Amino acid sequence: MNTKFYKQLLENNKKWVSTKLDLDPQFFERLANGQQPPLLWIGCADSRVPANEIIGAQPGEVFVHRNIANMVVHSDMNMLSVLDYAVNVLNVKHIIVCGHYGCGGVKAAMGSETYGLIDNWIRHIKDVYRFHREELDLIFDETERFNRFVELNVIEQVHDLAKTSIVQNAWRGGKQLSLHGWVYGIGSGIIKDLEVNIDSEEQLDEVYQLNFK
């Protein structure tokens, strides 16, 4: 067993703690008192997309849920539990669904290869392609089609998020809650705002038509 990498992680942790304490001796003491993040991040599990780091956020500022291809699946109790806690306990004000160009899950959904258990998850992504086949099949450049599929997947997930009973009940109860869709460029480090911003039930159809016209 190669333990060098493993041990280095623990050493890195000690250095990180030391750096934080040098800058702010009460940093961890404040974190231990609880969290009140303004943002829930639903992102891809890809190791190249660290939520806090790419937006310059500190520990305690972002509540995070990640899965393959940043999906909002209505039968996913893990995602729903995170969403419920974020909205109804932490009272987050913003939820961002962030995909990324070059997403392996989205790429897999474009083909017919089988991968085993994960095929069941990819099926949800394939549904997005089916919904938008007319547009996507007209894009002949494979990279351009792939990138657009990534964007459409994020937009669909934002709309699926808006349709959850958790978000619907929050709006009906007068909570201030805004949903957003982003795509991160791994090769550039830049985030693209897809301008799919929803903060009420009334905006759902309007935003949907704007992005899929």
The catalytic residues are 44, 46, 48, 100, 103
Rounded to whole angstroms, the Cα distance separating 185 from 187 reads: 5
- Please, which residues bridge with residue 180 across strands? 96
- Across 74-85, b (16+ Cβ under 10 Å) vs e yields eebeebbebbbe
Tokens of 135: 């547009």
Q: Residue 205 in 3-state DSSP?
A: helix
| Structure token digits, residue 181 | 């869709």
* HSE of 21, CA atoms in CB hemisphere, 13 A: 8
